[in-house]
Structure 1
């Protein structure tokens, strides 16, 4: 396997908007380890363009998604500065290939956190607060025909992040019990609760700190941590307005334009 060559394929797909066939079609032996090697090379290319890592996303945190891909563990990828939008922002559908949108609980780190041995209580002590957010997932793989290595290599299918600027202290909210209602153009689409993310979003932060710690990477102050979808991702199109209303955290809105 040549991780640099495969990373270049994904890089070009991001640049041109033309998806590529599944990497695992050409090499069915690719697994998670190979996927992360490709992801590392892709990140190098994106950082060389002047982008910057401002956080991390954890995906596949719900049991249905893990079962769909035959997994028993989440995946992860960095969040890049160029992909972060403010609450209420207009997002161009043309910036993506085949986007879907989902509501998530987001933490902002207050202190450095690095595994091994990090617990959910350690994560609670290290974050500065929690906020409402949405992730736009996108795949540079044709028709979302992804296996585990494909999505890992492709930045865990991360497209963009929209975040509320309201940061709520953890003393004011139990993130496991936070309820969320997801609407498109005012109509109810889905709902969910914080416990959909591995049973506890703070457990997701701990898992990420321990997993990155094995690679010598820490969660740094100020970084955003996306903890996984609370419902099934929804295909998005121009002209739609999405609003996720979180108990105690407040709303976050995205307007999709051409």
Structure 2
């Protein structure tokens, strides 16, 4: 099956394009929206149609995909236990040693940060391959790093309105902070590594990936299969932000956040307001 563009693959009806355009404009301006800019999608299929049009309208390359969990009973209703959203290359940043990297958010909208394992794709996938094993998904990865996903949307209530709404606005992603590579990751049991999240120096979350469905490798499998359904390929160099280990932690402009992995690895940043991107 040949690759298809977002516009060719999805329903391009006028309301979908209008919703996508309003989200893209609000993100570009760094401004909040007072409510959902149209009729909220009733399914993930419709949500991904809107998302695909928004990717096209925004422009720029997709440097990765973020994953978010869908809990019951919504998972049963939606027919999926995860959702995905694009991470754009120009919103992916390398962490620095002092944790002073500034990460932009949409002030007045939804703002949160999440400690995540980041898995980098090393080989292009065949978009006609619909089913993947965990072993095949694992073989796609050429690097595992620690990181922080910045979840931010112009819509403050995005997560309260259900997973389809979240998926329609880039999965609620507004950036990715890439930290150090995890030493010995090929042989490591990621589920055994404790992860802590600190806000302004105080620990507010601690967990492992053992609580996360089929874990980071399962997240790669999920996104490979989802992309195949959408007629897309995963590309070398793309990062998969595999899900919030310690939870989705609300933050505010001026906050300092840090994610610690195991006993020695950490990555941090400062939350700042995003201005107009012109």
Taking structure 2 as the reference length, what is the TM-score of the superposition? 0.81
Structure-2 separation of matches of 1:18 and 1:202: 34
- Which segments of 5 or more consecutive residues in structure 1 lack a partner in the other structure? none
Aligned equivalent of 2:68: 59
Residues 125-144 of structure 1: per-residue CA shift (max 9 Å, x gap): 12112111111111222433
Residues 235-258 of structure 1: per-residue CA shift (max 9 Å, x gap): 212332211111278211112246
Q: 1:79 to 1:93 in 2, by over 3 A?
A: closer
Structure-2 separation of matches of 1:232 and 1:8: 30
Q: How does 1:201-212 map to 2 (within 5 A)?
A: 201-212=216-227
Aligned equivalent of 1:75: 83
Taking structure 1 as the reference length, what is the TM-score of the superposition? 0.87
Structure-1 separation of matches of 2:137 and 2:263: 20
Aligned equivalent of 1:5: 18
User: For 2:94, which of 83, 86, 100 is the aligned residue?
Assistant: 86
- 1:213 lines up with 2:217 in the alignment: no
Structure-1 separation of matches of 2:246 and 2:178: 17
Q: 1:215 to 1:239 in 2, by over 3 A?
A: closer
Aligned equivalent of 2:214: 199
Q: 1:248 to 1:124 in 2, by over 3 A?
A: farther
- Which segments of 5 or more consecutive residues in structure 2 lack a partner in the other structure? 1-12, 274-278
Aligned equivalent of 2:119: 107
Q: 1:248 to 1:203 in 2, by over 3 A?
A: farther
**Which secondary structure does the structure 2 equivalent of 1:229 belong to?**
coil
Aligned equivalent of 1:151: 166
Aligned equivalent of 1:230: 245
CA RMSD, 1 decimal: 2.3
